Structure 1
Amino acid sequence: MSMKTIVTIVVGIGLLYGLFTVGMPFLLALLIAMFLEPVVAWMMRSLRLGRIASATIVCTVFALLLFGLVYLCGAGLIGQLIDIAKKAPAFLEDFNRYFKDATERTELFYSTLPVDVAAQMQAALEQGVTTLTNSLSSIIAGITGYFLNAAKAVPTLFIAFVVFMVALYLTTFSLPLLKTGFLGLFEDRSRDKVASVLGNLRSSLLGFLKAQIILSALTYLVSLLGLFILRVEYPFAVALLIIIVDVLPILGTGSVIVPWAAFVFFKGEVSLAVGLLALFIVITIFRRIVEPKILGDSIGIGALPTLVGLYIGFKLMGVVGLFLGPILMILYKEMRKAGLLQFKIKLE
């Protein structure tokens, strides 16, 4: 492999990283434009419309569907979240009352024990309570900090959304020109190979996006089913919160379910606490088993390479690496398949 190829790969990885960070609105616009391109081409061919008119209609319909979906899904969920926020002080009062009651019962139990045994049990209990309190405090602080940061990021997210919508229209208007200009960067003998890689990469990226949607939907359904079985309140809002934190490795599903299980346990609802912990285990195992398989089938690489890409990407680049790692695996596979990367290890 020549130095030129190595430099090209390094620059490409840097560009991909930039797209997945500061350039995310433009990357999303490009992906959606690629997804909408067959519809635009069909309108141009069937309705005899120009590209700008066809792209405007398609993008507008997409935007209306997006807004409608957000409104329909968000209205009920926001109502439940507001109701939960209103009842949060009552939940905390119940927790304090049950915790105080448990403490009084423990003290009564100590009074019936020998002094040395009671002292040992009290020391062990105090250590356990301290550990639990510290763990809950760190978890609550992490969740609170996350939502505070999310609230602070609302103006930035709004600007990013506006940029995304404008970029979507502009990208859809000029997608063929963008493709032609990009292919013009390469030599004639390499152009067909690059075009083949782009075509396959497009299918794989759309498959990757589809896989992420499927994973989130399946996780939501599993969570919702478990919450309905446990007969908890606000199942739709809680299931949404679970899938949101499930894609955040720093928090994870346990950041919602484990403190909740501890709370209901202190209330005396042992069966619900056990059920919540069982749901947490089921969601975690389900996600770890299904994720490599769905990603592998959707993007055309095996489950093991997908898992390797997810792990290495997360270790090197954090949350961004969870998306960038598998995409780099796809890019490597397609470039090898097209003959752009041809090297073999020689031991002699």
Structure 2
Amino acid sequence: MGNNKNGKSKILLIFDEFIDAGIGVAKAMLIMFFIDTIIITAGLLLLNLRWWALPIAIGISLIDILPLLGSGIVFIPWIIFSVYNENSQFALGLGIIFILLIVLRMVLQPLITGKKIGLSPLISVAAAVAGIMFFGGIGLIAGPLIAAVGMTAYRIYHSKENN
């Protein structure tokens, strides 16, 4: 197994890149947390929840970090409860917030994650879609992470200075 000019083996270089990609994914998740919190807070303020808007938004955004749960675990029952209690305008507002979150997450998550881990936007979106197809909700994060590590491994094993 070859060494690079710093004396690190190719496997260690790939491992270092994996750690860097993991940190990039964590940073992207933090950015998405703040985006979600802002959107939910603004929406709940428009629905007149006043001082409850921010704590609820933070709670939902924390849940939304978990790919297998997501904000739907809060919004869907809340919407159903609002309809059941004949508060259709509130339910509609919650539905709009929820749909906006889903759309923004599907668009922004791969782009932000790709930027943080060094993938082009096109590859990042393709990796996220493939990740969702193969791994479900967690694939939104796992797909770009796997792509970043795979591209790094390819670069390391095929670069002229490491051969």
Question: Mapping of 1:141-160 within 5 angstroms?
Answer: none
Q: Please, which of 121, 124, 131 is the counterpart of residue 306 of structure 1? A: 124
Question: Mapping of 1:182-221 within 5 angstroms?
Answer: 186-188=1-3, 192=8, 194=10, 197=14, 200-221=17-38
Q: Which amino acid aligns with 1:222?
A: I
What is the Cα deviation at residue 318 of structure 1?
Answer: 4.7
Question: Mapping of 1:176-255 within 5 angstroms?
Answer: 186-188=1-3, 192=8, 194=10, 197=14, 200-232=17-49, 234-255=52-73
Q: Which amino acid aligns with 2:99?
A: I
Does the aligned pair in 2 maintain the 1:292–1:306 contact within 8 Å? yes
How many residues are treated as equivalent by the alignment? 156
Does the aligned pair in 2 maintain the 1:310–1:326 contact within 8 Å? yes
Q: Which amino acid aligns with 2:123?
A: P
Structure 1 residues without counterparts, runs of 5 or longer: 1-185, 343-348
Which structure exhibits the higher relative contact order, with contacts defined as CA atoms closer than 8 Å and separated by 6 or more residues?
Answer: 2
Structure 2 residues without counterparts, runs of 5 or longer: none
Structure 2 distance, partners of 1:225, 1:316, is 34
Q: Which amino acid aligns with 1:287?
A: R
Does the aligned pair in 2 maintain the 1:295–1:303 contact within 8 Å? no
Pair 1:334–1:284, CA change in 2 (3 A): same
Does the aligned pair in 2 maintain the 1:201–1:331 contact within 8 Å? yes
TM-score, normalised by the number of residues in structure 1 = 0.39
The DSSP-based 3-state class of the residue aligned with 1:327 is helix
Q: Which amino acid aligns with 1:235?
A: A
What is the Cα deviation at residue 330 of structure 1?
Answer: 0.9
Give the structure 1 partner of residue 148 of structure 2: 330
TM-score, normalised by the number of residues in structure 2 = 0.75
Q: Please, which of 115, 118, 129 is the counterpart of residue 297 of structure 1? A: 115
Structure 2 distance, partners of 1:188, 1:250, is 40
Does the aligned pair in 1 maintain the 2:60–2:74 contact within 8 Å? yes
Structure whose alpha-carbon radius of gyration is higher: 1
Report % sequence identity. Answer: 24
Does the aligned pair in 2 maintain the 1:292–1:304 contact within 8 Å? no
Pair 1:301–1:318, CA change in 2 (3 A): same
Does the aligned pair in 2 maintain the 1:211–1:295 contact within 8 Å? yes
Aligned-CA RMSD value:
3.0
Q: Which amino acid aligns with 2:59?
A: L
The DSSP-based 3-state class of the residue aligned with 2:110 is helix
Q: Which amino acid aligns with 2:146?
A: L
Question: Mapping of 1:92-107 within 5 angstroms?
Answer: none
Q: Which amino acid aligns with 1:211?
A: A
Q: Please, which of 93, 98, 101 is the counterpart of residue 275 of structure 1? A: 93
Does the aligned pair in 2 maintain the 1:257–1:280 contact within 8 Å? yes
Give the structure 1 partner of residue 78 of structure 2: 260
Question: Mapping of 1:160-171 within 5 angstroms?
Answer: none
Pair 1:257–1:302, CA change in 2 (3 A): same
What is the Cα deviation at residue 270 of structure 1?
Answer: 2.7
Q: How far does the alpha carbon of each residue in 1:25-51 deviate from its partner, in whole angstroms, 9 at most, with x for none?
A: xxxxxxxxxxxxxxxxxxxxxxxxxxx
Structure 1 distance, partners of 2:72, 2:135, is 23
What is the Cα deviation at residue 295 of structure 1?
Answer: 0.9
The DSSP-based 3-state class of the residue aligned with 1:252 is coil
